[in-house]
Structures are given as C-alpha cells and as structure tokens.
Amino acid sequence: MTGWTWEYEGYAPADERLRESLCTLGNGYFATRGALPECAADDVHYPGTYVAGCYNRLTSEVAGRGVENEDMVNVPNWLPLRFRLAGGSWLTPDGTPVLDHRLTLLTESGMLERRTRYDLGGGQVLTVRQQRVVHMADPHLALLRTEFTAEGFAGTLDVEAALDGGVTNAGVPRYRDLDGRHLTHVHTGTADPGTVWLRCRTRTSDIRIGMASRLTADAPVTVRHELPCAVQQVSLGLAPGRTVTVDKTVALHTSRDPAISDPLYAAVDRVGRAPGFDELLESHLTAWDQLWRRAALDVAGEAGSILRLHLFHVLQTLSPHTADLDVGVPARGLHGEAYRGHVFWDELFVLPYLNLHFPEVSRALLRYRHRRLEQACTAARQAGRKGAMYPWQSGSDGREETQQLHLNPRSGRWLPDHSRLQHHVGSAVAYNIWQYCEASGDMEFLHTKGAEMLLQIARFWADSAVYDDRLGRHRIKGVVGPDEYHEAYPGARTPGLDDNAYTNVTAAWVLTRTLELLDALPEPRRRELVERTGLDGGELEVWEDVSRTLHVPFHAGVISQFEGYGDLAELDWDGYRRRYGDIRRLDRILEAEGDSVNRYQASKQADVLMLGYLFSPAELRFLFDRLGLRLDDETWHRTVDHYLHRTSHGSTLSGLVHGWVLARARRGEAWKYCQEALQGDIADIQGGTTGEGIHLGAMAGTLDLVQRGLTGLETRGGALWLDPVPLPELSSYGYNLRYQGHWGVRLHLERGRLEITVPSSDATPIDVRLPDRAVSLAPGETGHLVLPD
C-alpha cells in the first residue's frame, strides 16, 4: 500500500477471495466483487454483484426441518469477458502460465486496474490490462476497458463478453446446504448490433432486474444467445507491440428503482445514451473527488492508508446515492453474502461517522427503520409486549430474519440460534436517532419520525421491565447481550439471561432521553403524538420510575455482564491458547468438545465495555447516578481490566471498542487494539471471513475512532465538545466535518494544539467547548487552541 493505492503482486489462488472483497467496487446502489472477468465462480473465484435492498426469501431443508432465509441476491453477472487465440483454449490464470500479475486498487479514483502477462509458449506473451469502474456519478452504470498487447507474435484473438443470468448465492461455504437459486424467468435479447440485454426476476420477492451491455471494439461484434447468457463476440487482429482495446459498458436497473416504468427498458435506454469510456471516466472521477473533499482525512503512514481504504469501502456501500433508497446498513457491505446481507446493529458504528459528513445518508438509513416501525410494533405485540421490538437481523420488510439454526464448522452440527434475543438493537436505533439530530440539527426529523420511534422503543423497555420486591428495582429478563457467546444459563432449558448490564443501562438512557424529548416538544406536536399513540400521564410516570430503578448487577467490585455472571467458572485461557492457538471463536471450540461457553466467564466481544464506547465518562456517570448507583473511575478501571482478560475478540468490533475505551482508561495499551481494528479486514484476522464480505461496522468504527474517540468529540446542546486523548502512535491528524449547516469545518490536532477552521458562510458561529474553556468561532475564522495536559 502506498498512500491511496493498494497493490497485489502475483497470482495466489488461496488469496483470491480476500482480494475480491477488498477490491470490490461500488457506488451505494450496487457493487461488484473484484474477481477476474475471465474466471467463472468456483472454489477460487466468486464474481458477485449485489444491489442495495434487493432481497429474496427461500425455504431450505436443513437437519430434517424447513428453514426459511431471506438473502441479499447475487444478481446477474455483468463481468464476464474471456479471450483466447483463435482455435486455442480460453486463457485463465488457473490454466495458463502467468509471468506477471498485478491487481491495483486506486481508491482516490474508485478504479480497479489489473495487468497480467500470459505465457503462451515459444516466446509468445499476451499482456492483458484492464480498468474497471462502478460509476459513482451515474449509479446504474459500470465500465470495463480491456487492452490486449501481443509480444513476439501476431495472430487473431477471440474475445467473448457476456451477461450471465445463471448465477446463484454460493459465496459462503457454510450456507451451501441452503437453497441459493434466487433468480428465475431469465430472458436475453439484442437491442442493436452492439448491445445485448438480459432480464429476470427474483423467485419470491418478484423484483424484476434489467441489464444491458454495450461492447465497443475496432472490429464487428456478433451476438449469440445461450440461456441463461447473452454473449457478444469479437475477433481482434494482434500484431507485436500493438495494443487493441475492447470497452464494455453495462447498465443495471431493478423494479425497486424510482422514476422508471420498466427496468429492462431503463437499462437499454441508459446504456444507449451513455457516452464513451473516457467521458464516463471523467464524470466518475469528479464524483469521487467531491466525496473525498467532504470526507477529507489526514492521517500519516500506514494507519492513514488503511483508514482511507476503510473510508473507500464505507462510501461504496453508503454513498449520497443511498439517500434516495429504502435500505439499511448491511453488516458486510455490498461485498459478499456473509450474514445474508442482513441489517444488524452495525449502524451503531457507522452512523456516528456519517452524521458529520453525509447527514442526508444517515437520515435515509433512519427512515429505513421508521418505515419498519409498524412491523417492530407488531413483533412486540406478538411477544406480549407494548411498543416496538426491532429485529436483531432485518432485511426487506422489517420482520425478524435471524436464522433458526447456525452451523458450527468445527463440529459439523446445526445448532439453535438464540441471537434474536438481542433486543438491545432497539437502543441502537434510538441512540442513532439522537446522535444524528444533535449533529445535524434536524429538529424536524427529531420531532416527527424520530419522536415516533423513540416513544415506541421506550415503551417497549418500560413494558419489558419487571419489578423485583427483593431488590427494590426493575429487571429485564430473558435477553442476550452484545457478547453473543452467552445465550442461556448453564443447564437451563430456555434461552435468555437476566439483567444484562449493557441492555439495562441503554434502556435507562432511552427512557431518559425520550422523557426529555416529550417535555421539549412543541405542544401541538406533542398532542398529535399522544393522540396517535395513546400515551398518557400514568405511562410516563412508569417510564420515569423504570429509568431510575433498572437493576445493574455487580460482583467483586466490577459491573457484572449479567446477573449471575460472577458465579460462572473461570476458563483456562492459557491452556486453550496452547491447544488451539487462535481461540477467537471459543464458542465453536467448546461446542465441538461437547462443552458450552455458557459455563464460563468468557466473552466474544465487548459487552459491558460497550457502555464506555457509547457514552463519555461524564454521561456514563450521570446515567449511573440517575440509577442511584456509584460508578467512580476506580470501579470503571477495574471493570475494564476484568473483561479485558476474559474476552476472546471473536468479532472485528471487539478490537475497535477496546481501543476506544482504553484510550481513556489505560492509554498505554490502547494502540494494540486500535491496530487490531485497523488490520481486521486487510489481514483477515478472523480467519477467512473477509473473503465473504468486509466488516462495515469495524471499518466505519475506525474512522469514528479518529473523528470522535481520540478527540472526545460530542455534539450536544448545540455545541461541539472536545476532550482529546493523544496517543503517541497517532499524535497528529486532521479531518473535515459537516456540522449543523457548516460545510467543511476543519479540525487538526498536533502536539497538544488544536486548530479549528470554519469556512465562510452565512451560518451562525460554532460554539466549541473544551474541558477548561468555551470558544465561539464565526464563519471565516480559525481558532488556535492549546490543549490542557
């Protein structure tokens, strides 16, 4: 990696899946993995293309029972372009000797380049150079330019380009027992001599997909249709040292798109009107340049290069085009089929970054949740609860998509999956609403859709709380926390844990903030809300009581992850590391041994410590004070130490949260975990999972670590609050942000000094708060502030 460029030298089949994920190109509407166009899907290559929000539901027979799953669909493959010398075999790096192979991801320009030199024998070499773009200015276009150069020979090169509608969802080995045939009714045709089309639909969601491809070369293009493919052919004359070029331009539409009548017509029309490669590339580069200006990030060295890669993939999944779509945050981006493209709580790590750069995207993602509020209320009623119970995994319509069974690859057993009990996802939705409105100043959203969601989430928590006379406190029972390892008490017949500290404290926060909001609403709007929801004063009194009396368990002077956690056995961590080496997925190891992680004080990822990720030290103390509990620095530091030594870090989010928390609790150890978060996908530290899709929450979280974690940045009360914690390994950095109508506010920190520049505009001054002073900066002003030691 050098600055903005990621380069892979040599062809390594074992690394192809990882490279394909990390070299995915997208624009927020769709994305295509970085597979080689001449290679079909097999155990080495997987050329998937995914459209945001395009899901389909199928039922499969698993372990003797019907299991229903909804998946983000692998849509028809637009990439195929293969080549051979006339009369010869098709060339691929798996079947033809390769002299040189280089794959280069140009993040600044959103382009993937490849250069391969094929050894054809007898001193004959064919050099293939390709430039690939998924267009950032026009979200329905993709481009592939291929240049062929002969060395030491002359002859005829046959080239075939195709649209392939025979694809399936087969990118995750542990899902292969599930039905992955999502496409049906595949038809192909010819629009004009240089353009072919393909149309199909999903099997149950009935989403119609239209795709059109234009092939341009200095030779006649012929067409043949071999269902499920539309194939274009061209024969090119090769001469030593002379380069010949083939351009493939593709348009993609679905019936979910606004302002079209038919996706096939729209695709054919769009590709017909599209200009040539060079002109399209120019507008694509302009679009990326604008994105990079809005999200400018100045971090030196290796960390800076990795952060720019992370930002690149965040913007490819959630771009300004996302603001026009009804989509959520797919946990693995648009980069692969892991987690089936579902929406989890990962937006908790993504939206805080987007809020300060692309608030229109954050608003759209929150509207995805609001459109599914009715479904969340229905789920709560079916569970015997009031309010809104958002699903742990969401897809097209907001119903619970969490699988009933999951496969342990170590034991080969299908096991019950109880992760749907992670009701804390509702608190994540509420937190994101609050953070977005504080950062953007969007009071209209807060008073309307935001208030409606907050009210119903608060109502769910209040109704879930049960008063315990013995404790004199309210309790929330039968849940699963962020740790995910612990789903039940040892030997229990039913799943669920009582009084997960993270769940209870965040529930108290939701109730507190919602009460504040209801009190601050304009009276006409408050009346509307009360009338629509049947809210009454008695219910608000219950909320107030529950928000102050939720039980938070302690043991041995630390916050307990849940009631009874301190009674669990200690694990022989050193022994398991000696036996297995990598114990990140300790749950799978123990299950394969016939044991259960439910028996041990062992966590997959941060659970209690997530409280230190979401809340500043001052806000966390406020929440505990409100609950009538004491949380001093000594207790918090003991809690951090306790869980630090009992966490296996089986999630890419774990290093991120621990680095964030340790930056304030134990600075000397923070960088180790920050490094793990940075390396999570590029080094594939979870052991092969990145090849199935990047970890979007962890990538966005590393950006937010620089933006908010290390600066102590909070947006509250109409001010920017800053309390930086310098790390020796990252002592100088800067970035732009957008804050309440101010575009391009520039923050730069270096050696105990903070510089803030507010660009000229007609907006009001920004109120900046530091621990020891307050500063007001008007548009056009720059503040130079010396930070306290």
pLDDT tens figures, 739-764: 999 999 999 999 889 999 999 999 99
In the predicted structure, residue 63 carries a pLDDT above the cut 80 = no
User: 57 — phi, psi (to 5°)?
Assistant: -115, 130
Burial class (CB in 10 A: 0-12, 13-18, 19+), 11: middle
Strands (E), 15-123: 25-26, 30-32, 49-62, 65-74, 81-85, 98-106, 111-121
Mean pLDDT, range 429-448, rounded to an integer? 98
Q: Extract the tokens encoding 214.
A: 């234009």
Q: Residue 768 contacts by C-beta under 8 Å, 6 or more apart in sequence?
A: 719, 720, 722, 756, 774, 775, 776, 777, 783, 785
Q: Extract the tokens encoding 123.
A: 């001193």
User: Which residue of the set 20, 484, 539, 714 is catalytic?
Assistant: 484
In the predicted structure, residue 259 carries a pLDDT above the cut 90 = yes
With CA atoms as reference, report the closest residue to 229 among 193, 266, 265, 199. 199
Question: Would you state the pLDDT for residue 623?
Answer: 98
Q: Residue 104 contacts by C-beta under 8 Å, 6 or more apart in sequence?
A: 5, 6, 7, 8, 112, 113, 114, 115
Confidence of residue 590 (pLDDT cuts 50, 70, 90): very high
State pLDDT tens for residues 219-229: 999 999 999 99
With CA atoms as reference, report the closest residue to 751 among 702, 786, 722. 786
Question: Would you state the pLDDT for residue 687?
Answer: 85
DSSP per-residue string spanning 296-317: -EEE-HHHHHHHHHHHHHHHHH
Question: Would you state the pLDDT for residue 280?
Answer: 98
Q: What angle do CA 27, 29, 32 make, to 5 degrees?
A: 65
Mean pLDDT, range 235-261, rounded to an integer? 97
Question: Would you state the pLDDT for residue 787?
Answer: 85
State pLDDT tens for residues 471-527: 999 999 999 999 989 999 999 999 999 999 999 999 999 999 999 999 999 999 999
In the predicted structure, residue 381 carries a pLDDT above the cut 80 = yes
Distance separating alpha carbons of residues 656 and 349, to the nearest angstrom: 10
Q: Extract the tokens encoding 738.
A: 């957008």
Distance separating alpha carbons of residues 533 and 377, to the nearest angstrom: 11
Percent of the chain beyond pLDDT 90? 93
Q: Residue 687 contacts by C-beta under 8 Å, 6 or more apart in sequence?
A: 582, 584, 585
Distance separating alpha carbons of residues 19 and 16, to the nearest angstrom: 5
Identify any residues that bridge with 159 across adjacent strands, giving them in sequence order.
83, 234
In the predicted structure, residue 408 carries a pLDDT above the cut 80 = yes
Question: Would you state the pLDDT for residue 174?
Answer: 87
> Does 484 participate in catalysis according to the annotation?
yes
Distance separating alpha carbons of residues 580 and 246, to the nearest angstrom: 51
Strands (E), 392-494: 405-408, 413-416, 466-468, 473-475
Burial class (CB in 10 A: 0-12, 13-18, 19+), 308: buried
In the predicted structure, residue 193 carries a pLDDT above the cut 90 = no
Q: What angle do CA 366, 432, 636 make, to 5 degrees?
A: 165
Q: Extract the tokens encoding 463.
A: 């109704």
The per-type count for the chain, helices as H runs and strands as E runs, is: 21, 32
Q: Extract the tokens encoding 627.
A: 């609950």
State pLDDT tens for residues 708-724: 999 999 999 999 999 99
Instruction: Please report where in the chains the tokens 């930070």 appear, as a residue.
Output: 787
Mean pLDDT, range 268-294, rounded to an integer? 98
Distance separating alpha carbons of residues 644 and 606, to the nearest angstrom: 9
DSSP per-residue string spanning 741-789: TEEEEEEEEETTEEEEE----SSPPEEEEETTEEEEE-TT-EEEEEPP-
Distance separating alpha carbons of residues 545 and 653, to the nearest angstrom: 33
State pLDDT tens for residues 534-565: 999 899 999 999 999 999 999 999 999 999 99
Identify any residues that bridge with 252 across adjacent strands, giving them in sequence order.
211
Furthest CA-CA distance within the chain: 90
* DSSP category for residue 553: -
Q: Extract the tokens encoding 747.
A: 């923050």
Question: Would you state the pLDDT for residue 751?
Answer: 83
Distance separating alpha carbons of residues 240 and 124, to the nearest angstrom: 10
> What separation, in Å, do the N-terminal and C-terminal C-alpha atoms of the chain show?
35
Strands (E), 604-731: 714-716, 719-721
Percent of the chain beyond pLDDT 70? 100
Mean pLDDT, range 425-441, rounded to an integer? 98
User: 96 — phi, psi (to 5°)?
Assistant: -130, 135
Mean pLDDT, range 92-111, rounded to an integer? 98
User: 351 — phi, psi (to 5°)?
Assistant: -65, -40
Question: Would you state the pLDDT for residue 67?
Answer: 86
With CA atoms as reference, report the closest residue to 663 among 709, 719, 708. 709
* DSSP category for residue 76: P
Confidence of residue 64 (pLDDT cuts 50, 70, 90): confident
Q: Residues 363, 368, 374, 380: what is their CA dihedral angle, to the nearest 10 degrees?
A: -100
Mean pLDDT of the chain: 96
Mean pLDDT, range 85-107, rounded to an integer? 97
